[in-house]
């Protein structure tokens, strides 16, 4: 047997004919004529020096040699497909799901950098908040999730640990000389569970104000919008709000930042780990966070 490899087109015709049980159906699948597929199979049989198919009344079946060859060729095509995907990392469409506030306050200002770094990758953004990443939603490639991690069957790439601190409109800063002054203003809660303010006040050792008082919202973005209008004091991770702080839209009245125990993760099913578009986006995202 010659030492060189058989022609790729002949191997493609062989796999298609083996899977479909017909040269005619293989020709349709490969957009070739039936005679072209037949010639490719003949070329392959001459290369190996043995018949790869046996014609029977019920149709075309693999010979013993063809049965031995098929899984090896299929595995080779699988490996080649994976390698091709990894060498074309910035092509295609990536649908990314993020928590709403992370999307609008952190990710959106960085979209121009993403487009510049990966010009051939189209990132489509979906916003959704849940306690665990859910890939049953059609078309989502990756999810930035907020939580403790430990979700089964998913790759979890740590992005940042959440740290909480009060945030307010700059006009309210004179009224917040110390933590006790919070009792004179409305606390803005980003979640009906009211855990964020209770956690921060406990972390700084403050016994007042009452962490249950104030206005309750069901999203962090609403609480932050109320804070920018001077309606009270919100609580969030300042790492998500660099632009708002730099532009003077929001201010930090106190320096204490308390870890919430939660983190942000880039998550995706383990079988997608070798997708070129996902690897390229993950590398960009981690590099972006590292620079900050």
Residue-averaged pLDDT of the chain: 90
Taking residues 5-20, what's their average pLDDT? 89
- 76 and 98 inside one domain: no
pLDDT of residue 1: 42
Residue 269 has pLDDT above 80, yes or no: yes
Q: Lowest-pLDDT range, 31-40, 148-157, 189-198, 253-262?
A: 31-40
- 16 and 59, same domain (yes or no): yes
Tell me the pLDDT band of 179, cut-offs 50, 70 and 90: very high
Residue 270 lies in a domain: yes
Domain assignment present for 1: no
Average pLDDT over residues 129-154: 87
Determine, yes or no, domain membership for 3.
no
Q: How confident is the model at residue 87 (pLDDT cuts 50, 70, 90)?
A: low
Could you tell me if 66 and 194 lie in one domain?
no
- 138 vs 262 pLDDT, higher one: 262
How many of the other CB atoms lie within 10 Å of CB of 10? Answer: 19
Domain check: are 244 and 270 in the same one?
Answer: no
Confidence (pTM)? 0.67
Residues spanned by the domain of 14: 8-87
Domain membership flag for residue 281: yes
pLDDT digits 0-9 by tens, 234-265? 999 999 999 999 999 999 999 999 999 999 99
Q: What is the pLDDT of residue 83?
A: 67
Task: Please indicate, yes or no, if residue 271 is contained in any of the structural domains.
Answer: yes
How many domains does the chain divide into?
A: 3
The reply to whether 70 and 28 lie within a common domain is yes
């Amino acid at each position: 047997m010659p030492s060189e490899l058989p022609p790729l087109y002949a191997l493609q015709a062989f796999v298609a004919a083996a899977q479909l049980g017909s040269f005619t159906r293989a020709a349709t699948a490969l957009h070739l004529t039936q005679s072209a597929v037949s010639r490719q199979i003949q070329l392959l049989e001459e290369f190996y020096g043995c018949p790869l198919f046996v014609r029977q009344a019920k149709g075309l079946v693999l010979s013993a040699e063809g049965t031995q060859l098929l899984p090896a060729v299929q595995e080779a095509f699988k490996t080649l497909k994976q390698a091709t995907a990894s060498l074309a990392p910035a092509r295609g469409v990536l649908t990314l799901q993020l928590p709403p506030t992370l999307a609008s306050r952190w990710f959106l200002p960085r979209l121009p950098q993403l487009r510049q770094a990966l010009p051939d990758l189209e990132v489509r953004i979906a916003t959704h908040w849940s306690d665990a990443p859910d890939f049953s939603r059609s078309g989502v490639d990756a999810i930035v999730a907020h939580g403790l991690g430990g979700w089964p069957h998913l790759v979890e790439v740590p992005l940042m640990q959440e740290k909480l601190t009060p945030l307010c409109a700059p006009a309210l800063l004179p009224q917040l000389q110390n933590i006790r002054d919070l009792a004179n203003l409305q606390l803005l809660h980003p979640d009906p569970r009211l855990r964020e303010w209770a956690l921060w006040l406990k972390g700084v050792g403050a016994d007042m104000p009452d962490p249950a008082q104030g206005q309750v919202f069901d999203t962090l973005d609403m609480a932050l919008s109320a804070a920018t209008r001077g309606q009270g004091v919100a609580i969030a991770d300042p790492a998500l709000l660099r632009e708002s702080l730099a532009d003077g839209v929001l201010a930090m009245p106190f320096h204490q930042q308390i870890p919430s125990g939660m983190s942000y993760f880039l998550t995706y099913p383990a079988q997608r780990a070798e997708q070129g578009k996902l690897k390229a986006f993950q590398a960009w995202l981690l590099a972006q966070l590292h620079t900050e």
